[in-house]
Chains A and B, each alone.
Chain A
Amino acid sequence: MADRANLKVDIARILEADCRLSPDEIGRMLAVPADVVAREIAEMEASGAIVRYSARINWDKLDGPERVFAFIGVQATPEREVGFDGIARRLVHFPEVHSLYLISGAQDFDVVLQGSSMRDIAHFVARRLAVIPGVRSTATQFVLQTYKRDGDVLMDAEKPDRLSVTP
C-alpha cells in the first residue's frame, strides 16, 4: 500500500510520465483502489495541481508549420507594491509567450517565445515586449536545435541492444 501522505505525489509522478494511464492501472501500480485514485486526481484537477493533460511532441519530426523558439533575457525595473509581477501580468497572456520565469543574475526575466518565424519573434520583442513600461533592455537568443526538453532527449540515438532471452 502506498504511503497515503504521498499518494498525490505518487499519482502525479505517474501521470507526468504517462497521462493516458487509467485510475485502474495507476491503482494497480500503487496498490490503491481505483476509486481512491480517481478521487485524488479530481482533487488535483480542482486545486490546479494538475494543470492540463497533453502530449510532448518533437515538432522536428512533423511536416507541420515551422516553430521557432527564442529565449529573451529581460532587464526590468520593479514597480512599487507589485515588484516584477506587474510586468509578468502584462506578458503571461500573450500566446507567443511559451514560458516566463523570474530569474536571478544580470537579467530579471527569462521569456521563452514561440513563433512561426524569426521575424514573428523579432516583431513581438520590438512591438510588445520592449515597449512595456519598466522593461529596460532585451537580449534575444534564438534556439537553433533542441536536444532535450522537459527531461526528454530529442536526439536520435541508437537503442541499446538487448538480447531477447537471457538467464
Chain B
Amino acid sequence: MAQVTPTDGRPATSKEVGRRARVAPRVASLPPSGIREFFDLVQTMDDVISLGVGEPDFRTPWHVCDEIIDSLERGRTAYTSNQGIIELRTAISGYLQRLYGVEYDPNSEVLVTNGVSEGIDIAMRATLCPGDSVLVPEPCFVSYSACAWLAGGEAIPVPTRIENGFRLRREDLEAAVRPNTRSLMLGYPSNPTGAVMTRAEMGEVAQFVLDHDLLVYSDEIYDRLVYDGHQHVCFATLPGMRERTILLNGFSKAFAMTGLRVGYTCAPADLTEAMCRIHQYAAMCCSTSSQIGAAEALAHGEGEVQRMVADYDQRRRLLVGALKDMGLDCFEPQGAFYTFPSIRSTGLTSREFASRLLEEERVAVVPGTAFGPCGEGHVRACYATSRENLRLAVDRIRRFIDRLH
C-alpha cells in the first residue's frame, strides 16, 4: 500500500449534506486497496486460473467441522466471554509454549479475535496516539498501513528488496525511524514475498526496538508454513521483546480456517486489557462456533497441519523452479505460500504484467504494488492451488513471456 497521508481534509469522494462531509476525512483519504481493484477486474472474466488467492486450497479439516456441527446441535450459539472461551485461550497458551517456549497467561494475556485482521486493528488502536508513526516494512499485507492510519497514526514504509532476500535490515529501519515513531509492524514469514528471518537477523531488529523504545506488532500468521528446515522465530522469544510485543496469530493459514475468522493476540496483561476494551465494544466476541472449532484444531489438528505444509512445500518447489526456468528472477521463498518473482526483465510494470497476463492468458496474479510501492517490478503468485492448476498456469505464463521476448 502507498504511504497513507492526509489530504487537505476535503475528500473528493464524500458528498456534502448540509454543511458537513458525510464520510470522515481520515476514511475518505484511505487509498483503495490494489487487491480489490484487481479482484473486480478478474470477476469480469471466465476460465481464469487464479494464483491470486491468499488462502489455503485445502478444506478445513473435517474433525474441526464435525466439532462445530456437534456444538451447533447442542445449541452452543450464545455469546462467549469477550476474551474468548477459556478452553481455547488455555489451548493457545499451551500451543505457543510447546512450539516456542514462550508463556502467556490464558486468563490475562490471551485474547481471541476475529482473525488477525481484527488483532492488527485493535493492537494499533490500543497503542497509538494521534501523530504517532509506525514503521511498516514493505512489501507487506495490505492492512498494516491502513490500520495504522485509522488508529490515528501514520505508517512509515521501510522498503525491503529482493537483493537482500526481502529481509528487514537494521540500516533500513534506522533510515526510516522518526522521533514520533511509536512502534514497528512485523510480518514474517512474509505475505507477499515468502521471506523469513533468522534468529540473528531478528536479534538485530530487537536491538533496534530496544534502542528506540518501541512496541512491536508481530503478525506471525504464517509461522507454521516454513520450509527447507527453517525454524520460525517467534519475536516475543527474543531477549527483552516479550514485554514489548503484541503477538498476532490465528487459524486461517496453518489450519485452513480462513472463513471461520479466528485469530488471537498474546501480550502483557496491560496491553491485552486495553485491546480487550476495544474488542468488547466493537466486536463483543469471536464467533462461538469458530472458537470451538479452533480449540479442536489445536487439540487434534497437528497431523493435518504437517500434511498440508509438506504438500505446500512440494508445490512451492514446482512453481519456483518453473518460474526460474522461464528466466524470471525469482527469490527463493522459505515461508507462507507465495512466490514474488521479479518481472522487470519483461519491461512491463507490475500492473501491466498482471493485467496482460489476465487478459491474454487468463491467469491471475497480483501486482506487487498492491503490497506497497516497493513491490513494483514484482507480482505475487500463490501456490496454494492444485498441481493441475499450477501446471496449466505455468504453461500459460511461459507462453505469455515467450511472446514478450
Contacts and interface: CB of A to CB of B under 8 A. Distances in A.
A131 B211 CA distance: 88
Contacts of A106: none
B39 A165 contact: yes
B54 interface: yes
Nearest to B325: A28
Contacts of A165: 35, 38-39, 42, 50, 52-53, 364, 366
Sorted nearest first, the 5 A-B pairs with minimum C-beta distance are: A29-B314, A165-B52, A165-B39, A164-B50, A166-B54
B35 A166 contact: yes
Given A25-B318, A28-B321, A30-B314, A166 B59 contact: no
A29 B317 contact: yes
The main secondary structure of chain A at its interface with chain B is loop
Contacts, number: 51
Given A162-B55, A162-B57, A167 B142 contact: yes
B35 A167 contact: yes
Nearest to B117: A167
Given A18-B387, A167-B54, 16 more contacts: A14-B314, A25-B318, A29-B315, A31-B317, A162-B50, A163-B39, A164-B39, A165-B38, A165-B39, A165-B42, A165-B52, A165-B53, A166-B52, A167-B33, A167-B35, A167-B142
Nearest to A14: B314
Interface of A: 14, 18, 21, 25, 28-31, 160, 162-167
Interface string B70-87: 000000000000000000
Contacts of A163: 39, 53
A30 B310 CA distance: 10
Between B57, B317, B364, the greatest number of chain A beta carbons within 10 A of the residue's beta carbon is seen for B317
Nearest to A25: B318
B164 interface: no
Contacts of A164: 39, 42-43, 48, 50, 52-53, 364
Between A18, A21, A30, A164, the greatest number of chain B beta carbons within 10 A of the residue's beta carbon is seen for A164
A32 B99 CA distance: 29
A167 B141 contact: yes
Between A21, A162, A165, A166, the greatest number of chain B beta carbons within 10 A of the residue's beta carbon is seen for A165
A28 B317 contact: yes
Contacts of B318: 25, 28-29
Nearest to A164: B50
A14 B315 CA distance: 12
Nearest to A26: B314
Interface string B28-57: 000001010011001100001010111101
Contacts of A160: 59
Contacts of B143: 167
A28 B313 CA distance: 10
A153 B288 CA distance: 30
B243 to A, nearest CB: 30
Nearest to A21: B387
